């Protein structure tokens, strides 16, 4: 199958620090489900930001849907939808307004927009709450709405950055059910990051294990288990890195997330 994402020698440095992303080379086949597995601070989000035109790489080349994000960002932006690690909805608008807003921003014609919004709200089970303000939504509902929004403009690829972080197990399963349906029925390429072993193992066809900004192994879950001679991905990670998957010290973003939890995401 053709590759829809091709990355060669991708590197990102912030100031004089050791590279956050260090010489990554990988490709993602069209229509596949691809997982980036690694601890917090491994460089997963930084890679996604470079793929999605939010950050410029220090070195290396990227092609997303045949375009280079640094040369033709708008062509790349049309090709993908994204669900960020942190919520990015407007709490003061209703569910349907958030979707309408996105549709207009992406230049989706009115008629298509209406039908597509109806389809997607049904898909993520939010049709009955469409006129409710997003601030009254639970974490899981927000995430589902963000997925619907990310798909509104018929992207070829959907990026999901830690999509299940902070969700309860039931909501998590539910959400992956939706994503798999989309992959099967609409043929969308799914690129997600996670630090949950079992998610990468059960959802993705290919997994890249990333640590300290480098890919240390890549293959299917079974292949990774076979090469490391263990029966769990957890064991594979341990064998490859010599350490269990870990949580790095809290960054300023983590503190912000904490503050949001305390204040309940309310403005003013």
Partner 1 sequence: MDLNGVYVMWLREVKRFFRSKSRIVGSLGQPLLFLVALGYGLGPVFQKAGQGDYLAFIAPGIIGMSIIFTSIFNGMQVIWDRQFGFLKETLVAPVSRLSIMFGRTLGGATVAALQGTIVLALTIVVGFRPVSLTGIIPALVLMLLIALLFSALGMVVASLLRDMQGFQLIMNFLVMPLFFLSGALFPLEHIPEGLLIVARFDPLSYGVDALRIFLLGHGLFGIAPDVTVLIGAIVAFLVLGSYLFSKIEI
- Chain positions contacting partner 1, by CB under 8 A: 49, 52-55, 73-75, 77-78, 80, 82, 84, 86-93, 97, 101-102, 104-107, 149, 256, 260, 265, 267-268
Whether 206 and 218 have beta carbons less than 8 Å apart is answered as yes
Residue 53 or residue 241: which is nearer to partner 1 going by CB? 53
C-beta of 252: minimal distance to partner 1 in Å? 9
Provide the minimum distance between the beta carbon of 232 and partner 1 in the complex, in angstroms, as a whole number: 34
Nearest distance from residue 91's CB to partner 1, in Å?
7
What's the closest the beta carbon of residue 230 comes to partner 1, in angstroms?
A: 37
State in angstroms the smallest separation of the CB of 85 from partner 1.
9
Nearer to partner 1 among residue 107 and residue 169 (C-beta): 107
35 vs 89 by CB, closer to partner 1: 89
**Identity of the residue, 66 or 219, whose beta carbon is nearer to partner 1 in the bound complex:** 66
Pick between residue 83 and residue 200 the one whose CB is nearest to partner 1.
83
């Amino acid at each position: 199958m053709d590759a829809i994402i091709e990355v060669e020698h991708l590197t990102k440095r912030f100031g004089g620090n050791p590279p956050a992303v260090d010489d990554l080379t990988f490709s993602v086949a069209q229509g596949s489900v691809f997982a980036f597995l690694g601890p917090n601070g491994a460089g997963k989000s930084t890679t996604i930001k470079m793929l999605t035109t939010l950050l410029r790489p220090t070195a290396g080349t990227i092609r997303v849907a045949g375009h280079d994000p640094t040369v033709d960002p708008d062509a790349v932006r049309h090709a993908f939808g994204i669900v960020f690690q942190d919520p990015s909805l407007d709490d003061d608008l209703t569910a349907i307004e958030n979707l309408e807003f996105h549709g207009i921003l992406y230049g989706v014609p009115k008629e298509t927009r209406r039908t597509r919004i109806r389809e997607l709200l049904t898909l993520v089970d939010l049709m009955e709450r469409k006129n409710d303000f997003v601030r009254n939504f639970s974490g899981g509902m927000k995430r589902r709405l963000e997925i619907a929004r990310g798909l509104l403009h018929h992207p070829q690829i959907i990026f999901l950055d830690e999509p299940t972080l902070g969700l309860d197990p039931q909501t998590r399963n539910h959400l992956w059910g939706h994503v798999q349906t989309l992959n099967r029925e609409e043929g969308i390429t799914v690129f997600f990051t996670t630090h949950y072993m079992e998610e990468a193992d059960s959802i993705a066809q290919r997994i890249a294990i990333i640590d300290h900004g480098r890919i240390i192994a890549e293959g299917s879950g079974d292949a990774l288990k076979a090469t490391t001679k263990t029966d769990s991905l957890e064991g594979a990670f341990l064998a490859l890195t010599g350490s269990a998957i870990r949580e790095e010290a809290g960054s300023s973003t983590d503190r912000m997330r904490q503050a949001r939890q305390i204040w309940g995401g309310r403005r003013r």
